[in-house]
Amino acid sequence: MSRNKCTERVPEDTATLTRRKFVSSSLTAAALPLIQGGEGLGREIASTESQPAGVKRRIKLGVVGCGGRGAWIAKLFQRHGGYEVFAVGDYFQAVADACGQDLGVDGARRFSGLSAYKKVLDTGVEAVALETPPYCFPEHARAAVETGIHVFMAKPVAVDVPGCLEIEAAARRATAKGLCFLMDYQIPTDPHNVEVVKRIHSGQIGRLAILHSYYLAGSFPDPAKTATCESRLQHLIWCNDVAIGGGYHVNACIHAVDAALWVAGERPISATGASRTGRADPHGDSHDVFGIVYEFANGLILNHRAKHLRNHSEGFRCGCAVHGDTGCAEIAYGGKAELRRAAAPYSDEVVKLYEAGAVRNIATFYRNATEGDARNPTVRRAVDSALTTILGREAALHRSKLTWEQLLNDNKRLDVDLTGLAP
C-alpha cells in the first residue's frame, strides 16, 4: 500500500521509544495498576465544572477535522469564551469553508487536503482540537507537540499498536515541554459516575468479581467503495474501515471498555472472543457484533457485548455493570449511575453526557493550559483502552485467545492507501 502524508511515522532514531523499548516497557507496565495514588496515570480526572470561574485570556485554537463532531465541538469551544477559533482544516475544502464561515474564521485560514493540519499548526495557534479519523491522530498529535501546541483529541488515540506507541511518546514529550494533552472521554467526567466509581474503589460493593461492558447502537453509512479512499473520509463512513477508523469495537465500544478499565484499575492480560458482520450490504471490513471476554491478572473478568446494527432493537446503550461479592453497581453514558445492594446505596441520572462531557473537558483543557498544568492524566488510560480494544478486536476476528504480550510483540501496523488524494 502507498505510504504518504498520514502514513508518515516517527523515524526510529528520533522516536522517544523504539519498538523494542516500547514492547519491553509496555509489558512491564501491564503488570502495574492503572490507579497509583493521587497522581496515578489512571486517576479520576473528572471535573464537574462546566465553565471556568473567569476567562483569563483567549487561547488561539485550531480545529482539524471539521465534519459533524468537529464543527459541533468547535462551537462548544467558541461558546466557552476562553478560545478564539483561529484556523480550521479538513480534507474537504467545502467542509472547512462551511465550518470556518459559521465560526467567523478568516477565509485565508481555512485549509484543505491531507496537509491541512500542517497549515493550521503554522498559523500561530496555541492549541489544536483533533477530530479527524483516528488513523491520522499519531502524525497530527506528534506534529502539534513538536510545534509547541496544546492537544485536545478525540478517541480512540490510534487504530493500531504502533499508533498507540506514537501517541504515548507524543504525550510524554508534551508533558516534558509543559504542554497539555487531553483525551476527550465523557463517561469519566460525569459527577454521578465519578461518585459511583469512588465508592466502588473504597470497597462498598466488596471485591470485584465480574464486569459487564456493553455498547448497543446502530451502524454508520457504509456505501460502496470508489477508486480512492476519499469517499470514506466523511460522514463517519470510516468507522466501517479498520485501518482508517479502527473498526466499530475500537472506535465506538471503546467508551464502554474505557469505563470498565476505570473501574478495574488495571489492564487485562488477555482477550478471547468472536465477532462477525451483521449489517446489511457491508463494504468496509469492520465487524459490527462482538462477544469478548477479557481476563485480568487478579482473576477479574470483563465480559463485553456489542451490536452496531440499525435494527431498532433498544436504542443507544453504553456503560458498564459491576458485580462485587457484596453488592453491584453501574456507570453509564446515559440513564442511572448507581450502587445497589450496598451498605450505602446511591443512584442518580446521567444527563446529556454527549455535550456535558465535552463541555467539562473543554473547561479542564482551558484551565490546564492557562495554569500550566501539564500532568496530562487522561493519556495513560486512553492509550490503555485503545490497546485493550485492539486486543479484543484481533482476538474476536480470529476467534481465539490473544494475550497482551502477544499483541505488543506482533506490533502490527495498519496502512491506508492514500493514492490519488489531494495533498
Write out pLDDT tens, residues 304-355.
999 999 987 668 999 999 999 999 999 999 999 999 977 789 999 999 999 9
Q: Where are the domains of the chain?
A: 5-187+371-376, 192-351+384-410
Mean pLDDT, the chain, whole residue set: 89
Query: What residue type is 133 in one-letter code?
Result: P
Mean pLDDT, residues 396-415 taken together = 98
SS3 content of the chain, % helix, strand, coil (to 5): 40, 20, 40
Instruction: Name the band, by pLDDT with cuts 50, 70 and 90, for residue 26.
Output: very low
Give Dmax over CA atoms of the chain in angstroms.
62
Distance separating alpha carbons of residues 363 and 351, to the nearest angstrom: 18
Please check whether residue 293 is in contact with residue 273, taking contact to mean a CB–CB distance below 8 angstroms: yes
Please check whether residue 239 is in contact with residue 252, taking contact to mean a CB–CB distance below 8 angstroms: yes
Instruction: Name the band, by pLDDT with cuts 50, 70 and 90, for residue 53.
Output: low
150-167 pLDDT, tens digit per residue, is 999 999 999 999 999 999
Distance separating alpha carbons of residues 395 and 306, to the nearest angstrom: 15
CB-CB neighbours of 143 under 10 Å:
20
Question: Quick one: which of 342, 368, 353 has its CA closest to 126?
Answer: 368
Please check whether residue 396 is in contact with residue 287, taking contact to mean a CB–CB distance below 8 angstroms: yes
Query: What residue type is 220 in one-letter code?
Result: F
- Name the DSSP class of 124: T
122-159 pLDDT, tens digit per residue, is 999 999 999 999 999 999 999 999 999 999 999 999 99
Block residue for cell numbers 470556518: 100
Distance separating alpha carbons of residues 370 and 84, to the nearest angstrom: 14
What CATH topology corresponds to 5-187+371-376?
Answer: Rossmann fold (3.40.50)
User: Helix (H, G, I), strand (E, B), or coil: what is residue 79?
Assistant: helix
Walk across the sheet containing 346-350 and list its strands: 346-350, 335-340, 328-332, 317-324, 208-217, 301-308, 289-296, 268-276, 401-403
Check whether 72 has a pLDDT greater than 80.
yes
C-alpha cell at 108: 485565508
Non-local CB neighbours of 312 within 8 Å, separated by 6+ positions: none
Please check whether residue 365 is in contact with residue 155, taking contact to mean a CB–CB distance below 8 angstroms: no
Query: Which superfamily is assigned to 192-351+384-410 in CATH?
Result: Dihydrodipicolinate Reductase; domain 2 (3.30.360.10)
